[in-house]
Amino acid sequence: MVESGTTQTGLYWQTLETKTSQSDLVLIHGWGMNGAVWQQSAEILSQHYRVHIVDLPGFGHSHQHSFANLEHLAQQVLAHAPDKATWLGWSLGGLIASHIALHHPERVNGLITVASSPCFAAQKPWRGIQPQVLKAFTSQLVEDFQLTIERFMALQAMGSPSARQDVKILKKAVLSRPTPNQDALLAGLNLLADVDLRQQLNLVAAPTLRLYGRLDGLVPIKVADDVNTLMPASTQHIFQNSSHAPFMTELEGFCQQVIEFRNKH
């Protein structure tokens, strides 16, 4: 396996490929995290894809960058991304990947969202994160960054049979890279609170796979059925023993879904 990392003049990118790598796959992490969360899955997926992992602006090795809105964030990611790729986004990363599929379709071969939602904030009857929870994260973030991130990691793994181990892996990955800057953390929370792509989803032209964890406390599993109605041409898979991070809890099953998607499309 060949691995390389570069910031060029923009965001930090890491590429993994082997002699059997074929098409390009971009992995986008979630809020408060960085590209290191993909370490285990990227090693397996690089047998089939040329895997590109980005640290989003404000996070990890891209911590000195920032973004004003979703399109500004997307433009920074697209600047050094492959010309055309399958885009896989986890949580907030799924929102970013979906935005790119909608507004820059010429760059997208396929879309895979993981534990993600087109609208993270709860709005009756839509299921999601309660506004007061997002507000609490914002105020706690300003007071105690470390504690807020730890709570968020615990929330992501809650309900999973391997929760303690998942949190340990998440924590180690996140802390292996520079601390995110607070502006980016707050801007990311604003995206989770404000962005709503529900009415646009039927315009996504690329083949789409949606992956969920049955025990997810942040993206309720019923969101899967709701999005199915909005994107009838997409396919979905639910990981029975996973919460918000199925690529850690059910690593082999997760990679299998992503590999099968490539083989079909």
Q: Do β-strands 2-6 and 13-17 pair in parallel, antiparallel, or remain unpaired?
A: antiparallel
Q: Which of 41, 46, 91, 242 is catalytic?
A: 91
Nearest to 203 by CA among 235, 237, 236, 232: 232
Q: How far apart are CA 223 and CA 120, in angstroms?
A: 10
Nearest to 166 by CA among 181, 175, 153: 153
Report the chain's terminal Cα–Cα distance, integer Å: 24
Q: Is 225 a catalytic residue?
A: no
Q: Is 144 a catalytic residue?
A: no
Q: Which of 62, 216, 226, 234 is catalytic?
A: 216
Q: Is 162 a catalytic residue?
A: no
To which residue do tokens 């802390």 refer?
175
Phi-psi region of 32 (alpha: psi -120 to 50; beta: other; left: phi over 0): left
Tell me if 40 sits within 8 A of 69, measured CB to CB. no
Which pair of structure tokens corresponds to residue 21?
Answer: 């790598």
Q: How far apart are CA 137 and CA 233, in angstroms?
A: 35
Active site residues: 91, 216, 244
